[in-house]
Amino acid sequence: MSTEDALQEATEVLQQLGLKEYEAKCFVGLSRLSTGTAKQLSEITEVPRTRVYDAVRVLEAQGLVEIQHSSPQQFRAVPLEEATETLQDQYEARVERLGDALETAGDAEPESNGPVQEVWALSGNDAIANRSRKLITEAKEEVVLVLGDEALLTEDLVKALTELNKKVDVLVGAVTESLERKIHNSLPDATTFVSGLGWMRPQAEFDDDLVIGRLLLVDRSNILVSTVVPDSRQEQAIFGGGFRNGLIVIARRLLSQGLFPGRDPRGDQ
């Protein structure tokens, strides 16, 4: 990544975190200077000099910039580690406020009674990882997970599986022996196996740019299936809940392919 691209990306991320364009540009500019005046900052950021003062005042109020009231005034960014922690705290506070506000607003319609069988689509690596962890943490009886991509064996996923109640059976399969060994080392208390689902592995004879990412079945009721686009590494998934029927029995048997019957905690009940 070139310097110009890095500066552009840093500016865009700061805007996504809530700063306005000139504020983001001024902070990025100051992060490259030990100290700077409005004139110097304007020259390296292309922010109009008169707008530099407004942007710096906002940054100071947020604890991201320090001002020396000399003539001319001198500005400097707080240390990068400190700035990162400040931005993270602000972002988390906003997310928490959002959650509180939406929870307080409540539902616009009453909840339906009884389980509903439904299937939904979801896109985005983070969103799918979060949904998978949520399903896992809510498990009461059993988690069956098959991974088709080593990159999906994240610390957060391992933590979610490790922290489950000991009464929950955890079965984790992999498409290759090497991945199965990594899973076993990360989850020594789980039942691990090499999946017998050959179609989960990339098939050279097929012109298909998708590979299976993860297959997840929780409590024989909630299921999530994802694919990964090799070039972009973007994950897409479908998931559903409320199932207690023959479809889940078939799905469970498929996911357990490669697992020796004797090692299956619950069998195919």
pLDDT in tens, the chain (269 residues): 788 888 899 999 999 988 999 999 999 999 998 999 999 999 999 999 999 999 999 999 999 999 998 889 999 999 999 999 999 998 888 888 888 888 888 776 666 555 556 677 888 889 999 999 999 999 999 999 989 888 899 999 999 999 999 999 999 988 888 999 999 999 999 999 888 665 555 555 444 556 788 889 898 888 888 988 777 788 888 887 765 655 666 666 666 665 555 556 565 55
Distances (CA, A) of 13 to 21, 24, 28, 57, 256: 10, 9, 11, 20, 42
Residue 59: domain span: 3-102
Q: Are residues 173 and 58 in the same domain?
A: no
* CB 141 within 8 Å of CB 166: no
pLDDT, residue 46, reads 92
208-223 burial, b at 16+ Cβ within 10 Å, e below that, comes to eeebbbbbbbbbbbbb
Domain boundary among 56, 77, 102: 102
| Whether residue 97 is found in the same domain as residue 127 | no
| Number of separate domains in the chain | 2
Q: Is residue 269 part of a domain?
A: no
Q: What is the pLDDT, as a whole number, of residue 243?
A: 59
pLDDT at residue number 60: 93
Q: In this predicted structure, what is the pLDDT of residue 26? A: 94
Considering 102, 129, 150, which residue would you say is the last residue of a domain?
102
Q: Are residues 94 and 162 in the same domain?
A: no
Model confidence, pTM: 0.66
**Domain check: are 123 and 255 in the same one?**
yes
Cα distance between residue 210 and residue 95, in whole Å? 33
Which tokens belong to 80? 């990068």
Query: Looking at the structure, do residues 90 and 168 belong to the same domain, yes or no?
Result: no
Residue 204 falls inside a structural domain: yes
pLDDT of residue 163: 94
Is residue 190 domain-resident?
yes
Residue 238: strand pairing partners? 121, 225
Angle between helices 21-30 and 49-61 (to 10 degrees): 80
Given a contact cutoff of 8 angstroms between Cβ atoms, the answer to whether 45 and 29 are in contact is yes
Same domain, 95 and 124: no
In a domain, 74, yes or no: yes
Based on the domain organization, do 157 and 214 belong to the same domain? yes
13 phi and psi, to 5 degrees? -65, -40
Q: Residue 111 domain-assigned?
A: no
Coil vs helix vs strand at 42: helix
